[in-house]
Amino acid sequence: MTFAEGIDPVQLLQDLIRQPSVTPELHGAFDVLEAALTPLGFTCQRLRFEGDGSYPVDNLFATRGSGGRHLLFAGHTDVVTPGDSSAWRHAPFAAEIIDGTIYGRGAADMKSGIAAFIAAVAQAPEAGRISLAITNDEEADAVNGTDKLMAWAEAQGHRFDFAIVGEPSATARVGDSIKVGRRGSLNGQIRVTGTQGHVAYPDKANNPLPAAALLIGALTGKLDDGTEHFPPSNLEFTSADVGNETTNVIPASVLLRFNVRYNDRWTPESLVAAIEEVIGNQDLRGCSVEFMVVGRPSRSFLSPLGGGVETLVETIARRTGIPPELSTGGGTSDARFIADYCPVVEFGLPGPTMHKVDENVRVADVEELTALYAQFIADYLGTE
> pLDDT by residue (tens digit) across 215-230?
999 999 999 999 999 9
Domain match, 290 and 315 both: no
Same domain, residue pair 58 and 139: yes
Tell me the pLDDT tens digit for each residue of 197-208. Answer: 999 999 999 999
Instruction: Say how far apart CA 122 and CA 44 lie, in whole Å.
Output: 16
- Which residues are identified as catalytic? 78, 138
**Residue 370, H or E segment:** helix 363-381
pTM of the model: 0.87
Rg, the chain, Cα only: 24
Residue where one domain finishes, among candidates 265, 297, 329:
297
Tell me the C-alpha distance between 331 and 184, whole Å: 9
Single out the residue in 280, 297, 314 at which a domain terminates.
297
Mean pLDDT for all residues in the chain: 94
Could you please report the per-residue DSSP string of 277-326? HHHHTS--TT-EEEEEEEEEEEPPEE--SSHHHHHHHHHHHHHHSSPPEE
321 and 221 fall within a common domain: no
Residue 5: which pLDDT band, with cuts at 50, 70 and 90? low
On the question of a cis peptide bond just before residue 232, with omega within 30 degrees of 0, the verdict is no
Are 38 and 158 part of one and the same domain? Answer: yes
Domain that holds residue 219: 184-297
**127 located within any domain:** yes
Backbone conformation region of residue 155, classed left if phi is above 0, alpha if psi is from -120 to 50, else beta:
alpha
Does the pLDDT of residue 135 top 70, yes or no?
yes
